Amino acid sequence: MKLTTKKLVLTGLAVLAMATISACGSKTTETTAAATEAVTTEATTTEEATTVEESTTEEATTLESSKEATTEETTTEAAESTSVEAETTKAAN
Amino acid sequence: MKITYIHHSSFFVELETMALLFDYTEGILPEINKDKPLFVFSSHRHGDHYSPKILDLSKKYDTIHLVLSDDISIKHLPEPIANHITYMKPGAECGFLLREGIISELAKEGGAADLEVSTFRSTDEGVAFIIKAEGKILYHAGDLNNWYWEGEPDDWNQNMAKQYSEEVDKMEGIKFDVAFLPLDPRQENAFYLGFHEFMNKNQVNWVFPMHCWGDFSVIQKLKNMEVSNPYEDRIINIKEDGESFIIG
């Protein structure tokens, strides 16, 4: 199916021929479940699976909000753009 | 309220009395007071919205509770976290109390809660969340979106649009302080449809685009479109992972 091919290319997935995709272009129920199990096993059997780290920067953009969401009066005052250390690994599902 | 964009559809929200983490899969979390209660939400099981890594957060944070879509199946659940998970199906509600460093789930109709959660049915899998806490209302869409795809049959796309509209219409009258909405460049010319419909129908003070697959140019692309004129100033222009915003 044309669209299926397109979505798979866009998401960079290598999926078996019989696999289908979800509405958002994510993996099938079957493949997702399999992947989850694999990661879960890894997470529960090794300490290295915990990869949550703490950032060291405190800078933030301050936004002053108008309470009237229905109007166009809300202002965005960007103090300074942040430069926070962060991982930039592309997600792939 | 401080909001940090973590990665893809993941955000970390710091309130006065609690912190909220949405759809974490990877990336660096801000440092917070470990005694502050942490609620972790996962909208569905797809790998770009849920990771078993969140189970390990209980090793780091003393007071934690996971609110998971009921399509997420966890095998080999670690003992410390097993009693701190609430599964939610679409169209459900639950509430939590915070007392002396302990999170307790309220029974149905159990009175006023410190944090209230309601769910909506995703047009993909799982749920979208509405969170009420400290007088604020937040919405995280998960994969609830108008997934219009060029090349799909017209009736498929029409049905998708109908399902999305039905869910969004259920939120009529709610005034959102913050919304996290998909803005997916893979949808090409249809990338803004779900986002625009939500903003057009609801009152939202600030909206954070997500599910951009690292291509944040879609945010400015939408801001440049005439259709977004009524709300373009309320769209947060995320530029990179780890960026933080303080909502006044």
Give all strands of the β-sheet with B136-140 in edge-to-edge order: B102-105, B93-99, B115-121, B127-133, B136-140, B175-182, B203-210
Query: How open is the CA angle B42-B4-B35, to the nearest 5 degrees?
Result: 75
Residue B75 has pLDDT above 80, yes or no: yes
For B167, the token pair is 């869910």
**Closest Cα in chain B, distance from residue A34 (Å):** 11
Residue B86 has pLDDT above 70, yes or no: yes
Which residue, B160, B122, B118, B125, is CA-closest to B139? Answer: B118
Residue A91 has pLDDT above 50, yes or no: no
Shortest CA distance from A73: residue in chain B: B233
Amino acid B243: pLDDT: 97
Return the minimum-mean-pLDDT range out of A75-79, B190-194, B241-245. Answer: A75-79
Return the minimum-mean-pLDDT range out of A30-34, B109-113, B137-141. Answer: A30-34
Residue B34 has pLDDT above 90, yes or no: no
- Which residues have C-beta within 8 Å of that of residue A33, sequence separation ≥ 6? B45, B73
ipTM, interface predicted TM-score of the complex: 0.76
Rounded Cα distance between A28 and B231, Å, is 35
A24 — pLDDT class (breaks 50, 70, 90): confident
pLDDT of B167-225, one tens digit each? 999 999 999 999 999 999 999 999 999 999 999 999 999 999 999 999 999 999 999 99
Question: Which one of A37, A64, A82 has the shortest CB-CB distance to B75?
Answer: A37
Question: Strand, helix or coil at A28?
Answer: coil
More confident residue, A59 or A69: A59
Which residue, B184, B245, B202, B207, is CA-closest to B14? Answer: B245
A63 — pLDDT class (breaks 50, 70, 90): confident
- How far is CA B121 from its chain centroid? 13
Question: What pTM, to 2 d.p., does this model score?
Answer: 0.80
Compute the average pLDDT of residues A55-78: 52
Q: CB distance from A64 to chain B under 8 Å?
A: yes
Characterise B243 by phi-psi region: left (phi > 0), alpha (psi -120 to 50), beta (else): beta
Residue A23 has pLDDT above 60, yes or no: yes
Amino acid B32: pLDDT: 78
pLDDT above 70 coverage of chain B, percent: 99
Amino acid A68: pLDDT: 42
Contacts of B30 in chain A (CB under 8 A): 54-55
Contacts of B246 in chain A (CB under 8 A): 60-63
Amino acid A65: pLDDT: 59
More confident residue, A83 or B15: B15
Residue A46 has pLDDT above 80, yes or no: no
Across the A/B interface, how many CB contacts are shorter than 8 Å? 192
Return the minimum-mean-pLDDT range out of A77-86, B37-46, B152-161. Answer: A77-86
pLDDT above 90 coverage of chain A, percent: 0
Residue given tokens 């009395």 in the structure block: B17
Shortest CA distance from A85: residue in chain B: B242
For B33, the token pair is 């007071």
Amino acid A49: pLDDT: 30
Rounded Cα distance between B14 and B1, Å, is 6
More confident residue, A84 or B226: B226
Residue B246 has pLDDT above 80, yes or no: yes
Shortest CA distance from B156: residue in chain A: A23
More confident residue, A80 or A62: A62
Rounded Cα distance between B218 and A82, Å, is 20
Return the minimum-mean-pLDDT range out of A80-89, B52-61, B220-229. Answer: A80-89
Residue A18 has pLDDT above 60, yes or no: no
Contacts of B10 in chain A (CB under 8 A): none
Amino acid A20: pLDDT: 60
